[in-house]
A and B are shown apart, each in its own frame.
Chain A
Amino acid sequence: MSNYPEGTVRALLVTDMVTPATRAALQGRLNTSVHEPQFFEPQTYALLQAVAARLIPQPDRAEPIDIVAGVDQRLLEGKADGWRYDAMPPDREAYRLGLGGITQAAEALFQQPFLSLPEAQQDAVLEAVAAGTAPGENWQQLPIARFFEEMLAELTENYYAHPLAQEEIGYVGMADVPGWQHIQPGQLELREPEEVK
């Protein structure tokens, strides 16, 4: 899937081309340990994991990047990013209602819990949520398109903040201690990985 060699960011992180503050931020995300949900109930957390696995699928990774733990942690701490759509309830309530709505949609469309559905039908449920057409009474209290947008944006941010996802897209901007002298198109510095096609 990636057009870049593996290990690029990890190799740079241990060099002095990365500042200690940058290294600390990125290394922390590489240390994997299983996150026990603290805000979500275990069942709801499993549902969110399943939804995330379809929104950002990682079939190429033996160990998928955990993009859901950060959501649980953030909601537990009650943290915000500075704003919220006025039409949306507070974030904790939005996730509860939205995940409940996904459960309702799965039952209405396929008469089964989302977790029991094959991938194609899970995708069909999420397509209906993205399109704003999913059935479910919870959507009367929650603007469906805004919920999908907010959840997708948060999971996407969690994914691309991870050093392995940054390796995947050929991003090495964190190795900036020497600065960048070659910034024109096609001009790479030695520490920038070449694309392999």
Chain B
Amino acid sequence: MPDEEVLEEGVLNPVKPEIQDPLLQAILEENGTPATAPTGEEQPNPLPNPTDIVDCVVIGTGAGGAPLLARLAMAGLRVVALEAGPRHDARTDYATDEKAQAFLFWNDERLSAGKNPVAFGRNNSGTGVGGSTLHYTAYTPRAHRGDLILHTEFGQGVDWPFGIEELEPYYEELEHFMGISGPTPYPWDPSRRKGYPLAPLPLNGAALLMQKACAQLGIQTSPAANAALSARYYQEGIGWREACTNRGFCQAGCNIGAKASMDVTFLPLAEAHGAEIRADAFVTEIERDAQGSIVAVVYEQYGQTVRQRCKNLFLCAGAVETPRLLMLNELALTSGQVGKHFMAHPGVQVWGTFPEDIRPYKGIPGGLISEDTHRPKDADFAGGYLLQSIGVMPVTFASQMARGRKLWGQALRDYMVNYNHIAGINILGDCLPHEANFLELSDEKDARGLPKPRLHFTAQENEQRMNRHAEKLMRQIWEAAGATDIWAFERYAHVIGTARMGKSGDDAVVNPDGRAFDVPNLYICDNSVFPSALSVNPALTIMALSLRTADKFLAGLKA
């Protein structure tokens, strides 16, 4: 496509991919065939007309990109989404097999540094039409008022540039649009205007054991809010979605459409309103004019380089790929905040062996929740956490058990024979932003010739205190529940921060509407804009921000 390689005059194009590592060069020469286009019915989209200018390009189709894609399409705009990963039909392509489902994860290598290196891949990073929601556990608690004003409450961390009132209408809309199953009233926020549209999902073994033990200890629990359907539900753009069958495989992909991943909710809605989704489209370059406005996006698809001109860009690639693209393109960097303040939720797990026959593969993994620990009275740390019961798939469990306990030989096999008697609890806790935790581009190149990201993460004093508090409490709960051979696994989940939102371009990358301070037609919407980590699972809040960002953008168009 020679036309597309000719840059317009004045267009800045700082990306110069090259492969330096001889080993990688060899790998590429041996196996370097690019992803091939789907065959049969699913043909790749025709290449765009190089002179065609669409209203909006959206990079990424996960929780950050999909809701706004639908919103913008419904407003009548011409929108194109570029998704790095493939499009799958979950009903026929998904196996109930952890290894076979590895295609759901972002498997390009990231370098994990610091004293608590964060695991990526299946731990937190997805790819494909639907992004990480294809493998999220679909925990959908709302953030609390206090989560957004951590600095006001504790003098640590930062406040969000707006309060919970800004998010609440979107939480309501999302819960009803996606059909979230959960308790009404919500025990830790009883004054909500609207309840959940569906009753909670049933409790599995781990959830019931935790429920009983917490009752003994005076800890309030409740069936959790979860974006899997407890009854069939009508979804605009796609039709009826069937109820969850308790197959317990949420983290490796739902094959019946019960879980509200983006591929069965916002993306079909967006397409029904004219949005175009291009799969297998890996963005490498973002082009600007001399005034600094974005004019086009360049991506690789099926071995070809394609350029799509646009009036506006929404960058929704997640808290690793979003800052990586900004850095590669030297875009929106003046605040000095791109890549900074990388946060990961403390997610300590406590496991135990029970006399009961539990079969941890049945039911949604996290059936039961407690938010009594949102602001624990005896806390020696800022912020708080929530508690969740956990069921687990066998390969994931065996792998992290090997890492965490270092059991090997006969001891490993003897322990794993008890798989059906094992249940866990974990936490999801707030994480304070810290200057020692950040993303940078390394000198090592990946198979595309682009620098691998390196992420530094060290749990600071606040996270360590929270971990200790939580581990002690969870051990008490599991002892009360009758567990033996109790052990804890320190881990960190979710990828947050790296392009923070704030009131001033001096210390933030995007303004409270999600627009980049440096670039007039660039919006960022994913977990990278979170100023603080929140004490709840992030997906619902990312989706709420996504709808809000679209509404702010559309309001600006009318003005």
Contacts and interface: CB of A to CB of B under 8 A. Distances in A.
Interface of A: 1-3, 18-22, 24-26, 54-57, 77-87, 90, 92-93, 123, 126, 130, 148-149, 152-153, 156-157, 159-161, 166, 168-171, 173-174, 176, 178-181, 183-186, 188, 192, 195
A126 to B, nearest CB: 7
A189 B121 CA distance: 33
Given A55-B412, A148-B406, A160-B399, 4 more contacts: A21-B95, A82-B110, A149-B402, A184-B205
Interface string B77-121: 000000000000000111111111010011111111100011111
Contacts of A21: 92-95, 100
B96 A174 contact: yes
A76 to B, nearest CB: 8
A182 B25 CA distance: 53
Nearest to A93: B23
Contacts, number: 190
Contact of B120 (A18, A54, A82, A93): A82
Contact of B359 (A19, A77, A188): A188
B120 A83 contact: yes
A78 B202 contact: no
A185 B108 contact: no
A111 B400 CA distance: 34
Interface string B110-154: 111100011111110100000000000000000000000000000
Interface stretch (B245-253, B368-376, B538-546): B245-253
B363 interface: yes
B96 to A, nearest CB: 5
Contacts of A84: 109-112
A146 B108 CA distance: 20
A179 B96 contact: no
Contact of B247 (A1, A57, A78, A176): A176
A161 B395 contact: yes
B53 interface: no
Interface of B: 23-24, 27, 30-31, 92-100, 102, 105-113, 117-123, 125, 202-205, 208-209, 245-249, 255, 354, 356-359, 361-363, 393-395, 398-403, 406, 408-410, 412-414, 416-417, 419-420, 447, 454
Nearest to B112: A83
Contact of B249 (A20, A173, A181): A173
A83 B247 contact: no
A56 to B, nearest CB: 7
A24 B96 CA distance: 10
B417 A184 contact: no
A1 B246 contact: no
A25 B395 CA distance: 14
B406 A149 contact: yes
B247 A180 contact: yes
A160 B361 CA distance: 14
A85 B112 contact: yes
Contact of A82 (B99, B109, B247, B414): B109
B255 A77 contact: no
Contact of B409 (A54, A78, A92, A184): A54
B211 to A, nearest CB: 11
Contacts of B119: 83
B119 to A, nearest CB: 6
B454 A181 contact: no
Given A54-B409, A161-B98, A86 B112 contact: yes
A93 B109 CA distance: 15
Given A82-B110, A176-B247, A130 B406 contact: yes
